[in-house]
Amino acid sequence: MDEVPVDEVPVDEVPVDEVPVDEVPVDEVLVERRNGVLLVTINRPGTRNALNRTVAETVAAAVDELDADDELRVGVLTGAGGTFSAGMDLKAFLRGESPAIEGRGLCGITQTPPRKPLVAAVEGWALAGGFELVLACDLVVAAETARFGVPEVKRSLVAAGGGALLLPTRVPANVAMEMLLTGDPIDARRAAEVGLVNRLTPEGGALDGALALAGTVAANGPLALTATKAVVRGSADWTTAEGWARQADLVAPVFASEDAREGAAAFAEKRRPVWRGR
């Protein structure tokens, strides 16, 4: 979609234009399984994928499915219609709906992200609450035309849905401070330069790029993936001594697992490993 000046997009909310009944999506979130990857698509393109309660609950349920199902290794989160998400649905908010899940954060992932890896595929705008969903993901693939922002201060608000807390963990502190204090968006190339975006694609290619990256991750040992993510995510809150102790607790079951033996055997036999998740 054409870029919209950030000042024209309300903070953490998108005005929902009336959409003809025959254009209203049947499902506001689409969930698909693809070879061990769970693809979750926010499917409200007529509202720039604004976040309402239905979207929040469905995304949260999909994340629960990802963590609970041993056949699923990685999740991919994206938006339909050329936009990731421009934030909260204002009309839904005025009806008393909130896209935050109690104790879990926005769409159930900003406070309590899944144990398994989650990849964001970003086209177009990822603003306010939409950007906070991106920050909850472990890896980010973005089209070169994507834009990211936390414009809350422009309306005398604070990016309290995760932006102010999570952004400094993903980019240098001075970059996070500039984004949060100015409210100005950055483009995908700048996001890649500061470490927020892992891979850039041509416009329209973010999903394919994210699925390819997810497939590479999913080919690895599932127990090793969840343990590695737990160490990386937890390390910011641990002292050095505590980190070594916590890591030992997390990785011991992995090294003692059937999958670890299978990995070594497959390497010695020059074949692909067959993971059992145990």
What's the confidence (pLDDT) of residue 227?
92
In this predicted model, what pLDDT tens digit does every residue of 92-112 receive, in sequence order?
Answer: 878 877 888 889 998 999 999
Q: Are residues 260 and 185 in the same domain?
A: no
Could you tell me what percent of the chain has a pLDDT over 90?
Answer: 69
Does residue 184 lie in a domain region? yes
Does residue 278 lie in a domain region? no
In this predicted model, what pLDDT tens digit does every residue of 14-72 receive, in sequence order?
Answer: 444 434 434 444 599 999 999 999 999 999 998 999 999 999 999 999 999 999 999 99
Does residue 276 lie in a domain region? no
What's the confidence (pLDDT) of residue 20?
40
- Check 13, 28, 123, 152 and give the catalytic one: 152
Tell me how many domains the chain contains. 2
In this predicted model, what pLDDT tens digit does every residue of 178-191 receive, in sequence order?
Answer: 999 999 999 999 99
What's the confidence (pLDDT) of residue 245?
92
Q: Would you say 100 and 161 are in contact if contact means Cβ atoms under 8 Å apart?
A: yes
Average pLDDT, whole number, for the chain? 88
Q: Are residues 241 and 156 in the same domain?
A: no
Does residue 240 lie in a domain region? yes
Higher pLDDT, 95 or 228: 228
Q: Are residues 104 and 242 in the same domain?
A: no
What's the confidence (pLDDT) of residue 88?
82
Q: How far apart are CA 234 and CA 228, in angstroms?
A: 10
Strand partners, 32: 39
Q: Are residues 140 and 105 in the same domain?
A: yes
Q: Name the residue range of residue 166's domain.
A: 6-218
Listed range (9-13, 43-47, 248-252) with the worst mean pLDDT: 9-13
242 carries an active-site annotation: no
What's the confidence (pLDDT) of residue 94?
81
Alpha-carbon separation of residue 256 from 57, 119, 223, 273 (angstroms) = 37, 28, 11, 16
When pLDDT is averaged across residues 196-202 and rounded to a whole number, the result is 98
Tell me if residue 54 falls in helix, strand or coil: helix
Q: How far apart are CA 85 and CA 198, in angstroms?
A: 19
Q: For the residues of 183-221, what is the DSSP string, one character each?
A: ---EEHHHHHHTTS-SEEE-TT-HHHHHHHHHHHHHTS-
pLDDT at 75 over 80: yes
269 carries an active-site annotation: no
Q: Are residues 77 and 134 in the same domain?
A: yes
pLDDT at 199 over 60: yes
Q: Are residues 170 and 36 in the same domain?
A: yes
Strand partners, 106: 100
What's the confidence (pLDDT) of residue 26?
58
Confidence grade of residue 164 (pLDDT, cut at 50, 70, 90): very high
What's the confidence (pLDDT) of residue 41?
97
Q: For the residues of 71-120, what is the DSSP string, one character each?
A: T--EEEEEESTT-SB--EEHHHHHTT--SEETTTEETTTSSS--SS-EEE
Does residue 1 lie in a domain region? no
Q: Are residues 193 and 112 in the same domain?
A: yes
In this predicted model, what pLDDT tens digit does every residue of 138-158 receive, in sequence order?
Answer: 999 999 999 999 999 998 989
**Predicted TM-score (pTM) of this structure:** 0.87
Does residue 65 lie in a domain region? yes
The last residue of a domain, from among 176, 192, 218 = 218
Q: Are residues 45 and 156 in the same domain?
A: yes
- Check 132, 178, 203, 262 and give the catalytic one: 132
Q: Are residues 90 and 151 in the same domain?
A: yes
pLDDT at 7 over 80: no
Q: Are residues 107 and 152 in the same domain?
A: yes
Q: Are residues 260 and 226 in the same domain?
A: yes
Report the CATH number that the domain containing residue 214 is assigned in CATH.
3.90.226.10
Q: Are residues 28 and 115 in the same domain?
A: yes
